[in-house]
Amino acid sequence: MMPAGRFAPSPSGELHLGNLRTALLAWLFARSTGRQFLVRVEDLDRARAGAEEAQLRDLAAIGIGWDGPVVRQSERTELYEGALDALTDAGLTYECYCTRREIQEAPSAPHAPQGAYPGTCRDLTEAERGRRRAERPAAVRLRAGVTEGAVADVLHGRYVGLVDDFVLRRNDGVVAYNLAVVVDDAAQGVDQVIRGDDLLPSTPRQAYLAGLLGYAVPEYAHVPLVLNPQGRRLAKRDGAVTLAALAAHGVPAERVAEILLASLGLPRSLPAALEAFSAAALPRDPWVLDPAELTARQERTLRS
């Protein structure tokens, strides 16, 4: 299997400039290191009709090409269930019947890190399990043997974070993101994971799970997010932040690609940016973007 990097959007709506910038970075990291570049649609949850097509169109419009067919998580359930069975056979899972509220209100175990599952269902007797199972469908949790883990990140260095008995399959039967992403990366030969740094805290969990399943842990680079002028993560409500909205303001996709590359300190064409790309030289701070300023600048350009 060819080593690969990937971009893995959730088809919950249109990609905005923050998503597109992360996609560009993932593409630059992969292509500059001779890797394949894969696109995987993470549609186990929140898939909106037509969103996948629109997202793929937007990636192509800013010049991003990918290798092989696009993979959809919704078509790979058997793969995830296979991994889940292997963990269960190894005694590494248990059923959890807790509601969100019960977890919040449970006294946490002594020395347990904040935000960790309190372990309520870890050691129930068979009789207790039978009784609770009748009350509520069970989620499946990992029986973790550690409370924290370390990963190496290209931009953040060594990162230590929580590893708890996290959910592998939710109680509605849907495979949890943390399991699907680990299984997919291994199955697809993805050995380089580039994504937004909001996902850094879940990375030790995923690396730990990869180890339990006998997979190599990929190289990680968690890239800075795009923020609005108020310092919050860029969102649709911040204005014209999608290719369609920007096009309506007279900003074509090619111009958006140039703006995104410039925000990374790179030349404004993809081939030149690829040539110049260096992970070490990337900006480490979030990019603060005022969409109103972006469209106003374009309107001035068009008038002049």
Compare residues 15 and 162 and give the one whose CB is closer to Zn ion.
162
Is residue 120 at the binding interface for Zn ion, with CB under 5 A as the rule? yes
Q: Which stretch binds Zn ion (CB under 5 A): 13-21, 56-64, 120-128, 285-293?
A: 120-128
Q: How far is the CB of 129 from Zn ion (least distance, A)?
A: 11
Is residue 96 at the binding interface for Zn ion, with CB under 5 A as the rule? yes
Is residue 98 at the binding interface for Zn ion, with CB under 5 A as the rule? yes
Compare residues 27 and 94 and give the one whose CB is closer to Zn ion.
94
Q: Which stretch binds Zn ion (CB under 5 A): 69-77, 117-125, 166-174, 275-283?
A: 117-125
**221-250 residues near Zn ion, rule: CB under 5 A:** none
Supply the residues annotated as catalytic. 236
**Residue 97, marked binder:** no
**Residue 268, marked binder:** no
**Residue 283, marked binder:** no
**C-alpha closest to that of 188 among 35, 28, 63:** 35
Is residue 121 at the binding interface for Zn ion, with CB under 5 A as the rule? yes
**Residue 236, marked binder:** yes
Compare residues 59 and 121 and give the one whose CB is closer to Zn ion.
121
Binding-site entries for Zn(2+): 96, 98, 117, 121
List contacts with Zn ion (CB under 5 A): 96, 98, 120-121
Binding-site entries for ATP: 236
